[in-house]
Amino acid sequence: MVDVGGKPRTHRAAVAEAFVRMNPAMVRRLRLADLDKGDALAVARIAGISASKKVADLVPLAHPISLSHVALQFDLNERAGMVRIEASVESDGPTGVELEAMTSASVAALNLYDMIKKTERGATIECVRLLLKTGGASGDYRRSEQSRPSEYSQPSEHPDTKPTVRGPRSDESKRGEATNRGQATKRGQATKRGQATKRGQATKRGEATKRGQATKRGQATQRGDATKAPRRGTGGRPT
């Protein structure tokens, strides 16, 4: 370990962040605290605070530090399918608190994963990094805001929820659709003509049938009349 006994005690501060990528629907459930295990954000906040005080147990060459303030904030981006965790740590001592801030954000992210892993095992923890550091002989440090992951403001690329992107239709697609509509119209017209033809044939057959029936009835009537006529003898008088 580095000897920090001779360093002056000054105010130190550090801010770190971590991202947890997940299904957008799970981000909504986190917002509503709709999980079997309870309020995941509250659990992650307590876990992050506790972790910041145990860095010396996790990092062998880190110094035990008395912290004066620890806070965590959660930014839920449902559209991007991400949760951003920001951990802020302060201390009055001889060494910086960068590791405490990064450990706090990391453990908070791990606890979020633990809370959602039953239905969201594909979630990922990304971009654990230092954003700000103040105090000490080395001076201040601030990460440029432009270096934030661009995908944070984009739709999620989570493996379970890849969005379907439809580009502009090509001229060939439009011509194909027009051709299909034209063929469908022609088939419809042909069908209508066929139906009209069938109805016309049926009408003609009906008329022919009626004429045939009328002819048969006329012939039958004539035969009946001939049968009813009186027979005449050889002399021309009725018999």
| Active site (annotated) includes residue 160 | no
Note the pLDDT of residue 10. 87
Question: How many Å apart are CA 106 and CA 59, to the nearest integer?
Answer: 14
**Residue 238 located in a structural domain:** no
Residue that has been written with the tokens 């379907």 in this structure: 164
**pTM: predicted TM-score of the whole model, two decimal places:** 0.61
In a domain, 202, yes or no: no
Catalytic site residue from 3, 92, 114, 160: 114
Q: What is the predicted pLDDT for the residue at 6? A: 72
Q: Length of the chain, please?
A: 239
- Residue 171's pLDDT is 53
The reply to whether 16 falls in a domain is: yes
Residue 220 lies in a domain: no
Cβ(124)–Cβ(82) under 8 Å? no
The answer to whether residue 37 is domain-embedded is yes
Residue 225 domain-assigned (yes or no): no
- At 145, which CATH number? 3.30.70.640
Count structural domains, the chain.
1
Domain assignment present for 229: no
User: Residue 185: what pLDDT?
Assistant: 62
C-alpha 201/C-alpha 36 separation (Å) is 73
Report if residue 22 sits inside a domain.
Answer: yes
Q: Is 151 exposed, middle or buried (0-12, 13-18, 19+ CB in 10 A)?
A: middle
* Tokens 């493996």 belong to residue: 159
pLDDT averaged per 10 residues, the chain (length 239): 76 95 92 89 96 93 91 94 95 90 96 92 92 88 70 47 41 56 64 66 66 64 56 47
> Beta 10-21 vs 124-134: how paired, if at all?
antiparallel
List the domain range (segments joined by +) for residue 28.
10-153
- For residue 238, give the 3-state DSSP assignment: strand
